[in-house]
């Protein structure tokens, strides 16, 4: 982190720790020494302009992209030497696009990973899928196909699919940015409920109201670095850097 960045103190254990992560695509340095601590049962929101490295950071945490240098720790243990599939059962991720299989029912989209990755019986998987669909308010849509759902409903199915793997940490990569404005509220409400239930979450978002009301820390990234980090009140009401002040003047 830069000298201007601080991390809020916490007596809880650190669930996710990112240490000095560097990554370049050719000559483009996408991540330049990123550090991040997310205490267990807390929500961290990452904000910043497009191209600042926010989404890439999430992909490094979930090992969809391997960093050139640095480390990612889950409960104090490096994940970079682990089997990526095993890691993704502990760290769920919800993307901007829903990535649902159109030929399968909503329930079938959720049970697929449970049977193939977790080895559950079909009846066990179906019961767990229904439980998590109910959790996001969509149990009554279990037997329909994704094409018959609104965008907001499809995103909530994607959240249920990730939750069904019983992860310890959830990553959200601009989960509402592909939705029509009237559909955003339901997805944000689902995410806020997860935060209230104590799910550890890292959320890349353009929804500043959500970040202010739900996050316990907000990180502002630009050009592959964390420029500022702190409690939402400090980040939004008393930014320390001119770069963050300019960014907020454009989005608030």
Q: What is the pLDDT of residues 52-89, one digit of tens each?
A: 999 999 999 999 999 999 999 999 999 988 888 889 88
The three-state (H, E, C) secondary structure of 41-73, written as one string? CCEEEEECCCCCCHHHHHHHHCCCCCCCEEEEE
Q: Is a pLDDT exceeding 50 seen at residue 115?
A: yes
| 35 occurs within a structural domain | yes
Q: Residue 247 and residue 86: Cα distance in Å, rounded?
A: 38
- HSE at residue 20, side-chain half, CA atoms within 13 A, is 2
Whether residue 60 lies inside any domain: the answer is: yes
Give residue 11's pLDDT band: very low, low, confident or very high (50, 70, 90).
Answer: very low
Q: What is the chain's mean pLDDT, rounded?
A: 92
State the CATH number of the domain containing residue 223.
3.40.50.300
Structural domain range at position 72: 14-101+168-251
Predicted pLDDT at 82: 82
In a domain, 180, yes or no: yes
Q: What is the mean pLDDT of residues 185-194?
A: 95
- Distance between terminal CA atoms of the chain? 25
Cβ proximity of 219 and 57 under 8 Å: no
pTM above 0.95, yes or no: no
Q: Is residue 33 part of a domain?
A: yes
Give Cβ neighbours of residue 3 (< 8 Å, ≥ 6 apart): none
pLDDT bin (cut points 50, 70, 90) of residue 14 is confident
Percent of the chain whose predicted confidence (pLDDT) is above 90: 86
Tally of domains within the chain: 1
Q: Classify each residue of 64-89 as buried b or exposed e, where b means 16 or more C-beta atoms within 10 Å of its C-beta.
A: ebebeebebbbeeeebeeeeeeebbe
- Give the pLDDT mean for 184-197: 95
Is the residue at 161 inside a domain? no
pLDDT of amino acid 85: 84
Which among 55, 57, 221 has a CA at the least distance from the CA of 229? 221
CB 106 within 8 A of CB 184: no
Of 199, 207, 203, 198, the C-alpha closest to 217 is 203
Question: How much is the CA Rg of the chain, to the nearest whole Å?
Answer: 18
pLDDT of 13 reads 67
pLDDT interval class at 125 (50, 70, 90): very high
């Amino acid at each position: 982190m830069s000298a201007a960045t601080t991390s809020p103190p916490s007596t809880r254990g650190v669930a996710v720790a990112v240490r000095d992560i560097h990554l370049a695509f050719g000559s483009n340095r996408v991540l330049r020494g990123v550090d991040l601590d997310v205490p267990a049962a807390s929500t961290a929101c990452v904000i910043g302009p497009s191209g600042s490295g926010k989404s890439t950071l999430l992909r490094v945490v979930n090992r969809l992209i391997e960093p050139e240098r640095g480390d990612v720790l889950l409960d104090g243990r490096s994940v970079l030497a682990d089997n990526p599939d095993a890691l993704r059962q502990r760290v769920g991720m919800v993307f901007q696009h829903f990535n649902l299989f159109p030929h399968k029912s909503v329930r079938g989209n959720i049970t697929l990973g449970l049977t193939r990755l977790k080895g559950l019986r079909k009846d066990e998987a179906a019961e767990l899928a229904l439980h998590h669909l109910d959790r996001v308010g969509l149990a009554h849509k279990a037997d329909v196909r994704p094409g018959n759902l609104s965008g907001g409903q499809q995103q909530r199915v994607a959240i249920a699919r990730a939750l069904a793997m019983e992860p310890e940490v959830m990553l959200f990569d601009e989960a509402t940015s592909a939705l029509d404005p009237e559909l955003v509220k339901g997805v944000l409400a689902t995410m806020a409920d997860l935060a209230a239930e104590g799910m550890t979450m890292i959320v890349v978002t353009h929804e500043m109201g959500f970040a202010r009301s739900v996050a316990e820390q907000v990180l502002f990234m630009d050009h592959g670095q964390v420029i500022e980090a702190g409690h939402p009140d400090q980040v939004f009401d008393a930014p320390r850097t001119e770069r963050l002040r300019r960014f907020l003047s454009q989005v608030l």
